[in-house]
Amino acid sequence: MKKPLFNQKSPSLSVSEWVQGEATSLEQLLGNVVLVEVFQVNCPGCFLYSLPAAVALHQQYSTQGLVVLGVATAFEDFDKNTLGNLKGLLEKGEVVGETLHTLQQQGRLTNGSLPYRIPFPVAMDRLTQRQGEASAEEIQAFITEKLPDFKDYPTSRQQLVQQQVEQYFAALIYHAETFDRFHLQGTPSHILIDKQGKLRACKFGAYTALEAHILTLLNE
C-alpha cells in the first residue's frame, strides 16, 4: 500500500461537513503549523489519550501559530461512527459504543457525558460507498502491509488470515476519503503539516514526540 509523501505538499482534507467551527482548508492555513487529529467516535483510545492531548496542545500553542483540527472518520463500525453521533459528541458530550463502555468503566465520564469539550474545529470525513468487491491485489497488499512475514506462516494460518481479511473487506461499506488520502492505518492518527503546507509527519497510535515535533516546526 502507498505511503504518505513527506516533505512535499500535503494532500488536502476531504470533508462532508464542518460540524464545529468555521470551514477551512489547509491552503488557508499556510503560515501556521497544523495538527490534524483523526479519530472515530467509537474509538476508546482516541478519548483516553489523543483527544485530551490535542486539547492540551491547542490550549498551550494556539497563540504561537499552531492550528489544531479534528477529523472524525469511519473505516469500520459504520452504525456508530456517524455524523449524528459526532454532533451529539460535540454538542452534548455524548459518547457511544465501546467509547462509552470504556470511559464508564474507568470513571472518566461526568453524569454520563464527556467531562471536557473539544475546543477546535471538527469536521466529518467524506465517505463514499465502495463499488464492488475488493480485488485480490488489494487484499494481498493489505496483508503485506499488516503482516510483513505472512509468507513464512504455515499454509493453514495463511488461509485463515486470507479468510479474515476477505471478511473484513466485505464489511467495508464506505471509503473514508481523508483517511485514504493520507494512507492511515487506524485511529487515533496524527497528521502534522508545516508552515509551508508540507506534510511532515503522519503517525498512528502513540506519538510520544508530538509536542517536541510541534515545537520544532513552530521554530522553523
Q: What is the pLDDT of residues 23-66, one digit of tens each?
A: 999 999 999 999 999 999 999 999 999 999 999 999 999 999 99
Determine the residue type at 128: T
Q: What is the pLDDT, as a whole number, of residue 136?
A: 81
Helix residue ranges per DSSP H, 62-135:
83-92, 97-105
Q: Nine-digit cell at 65?
A: 501559530
Tell me which residue of 121, 202, 207, 138 sits closest to 175, measured CA to CA: 138
Tell me if 10 sits within 8 A of 217, measured CB to CB. no
Mean per-residue pLDDT for 130-146? 75
Q: What percent of the chain has pLDDT over 90?
A: 70
Q: What is the pLDDT of residues 139-198, one digit of tens each?
A: 787 788 778 888 889 988 888 888 877 766 666 667 789 988 998 988 999 999 999 999
Which single residue is written with the C-alpha cell 475546543? Answer: 119
pTM for this prediction: 0.82
Q: What is the pLDDT, as a whole number, of residue 3?
A: 67
pLDDT band at 128 (very low <50, low <70, confident <90, very high): confident
Q: What is the pLDDT, as a whole number, of residue 145?
A: 74
Round the average pLDDT of the chain to a whole number and report it. Answer: 91
Query: Going by DSSP bridges, is the β-strand pair 189-193/33-39 parallel, antiparallel, or unpaired?
Result: antiparallel
Mean per-residue pLDDT for 65-88? 95
Q: What is the pLDDT, as a whole number, of residue 53?
A: 96
Flag whether pLDDT at 82 surpasses 50: yes
Q: What is the pLDDT, as a whole number, of residue 171?
A: 61
* Whole-number Å distance between alpha carbons of 40 and 74: 6
Flag whether pLDDT at 1 surpasses 50: no
Tell me if 126 sits within 8 A of 74, measured CB to CB. no
Q: Cα dihedral sign for 112, 19, 83, 122?
A: negative
First to last CA, the chain: 31
Q: What is the pLDDT, as a whole number, of residue 94?
A: 97
- If residue 157 lies in a helix (H) or strand (E), which one and from where to where? helix 155-170
Q: Cα dihedral sign for 39, 32, 126, 118?
A: positive
Flag whether pLDDT at 6 surpasses 60: yes
Phi, psi for residue 98 in degrees, rounded to 5: -65, -30
Phi, psi for residue 160 in degrees, rounded to 5: -65, -45
Domains of the chain: residue spans and CATH: 15-127+183-218 (3.40.30.10), 131-171 (no CATH)
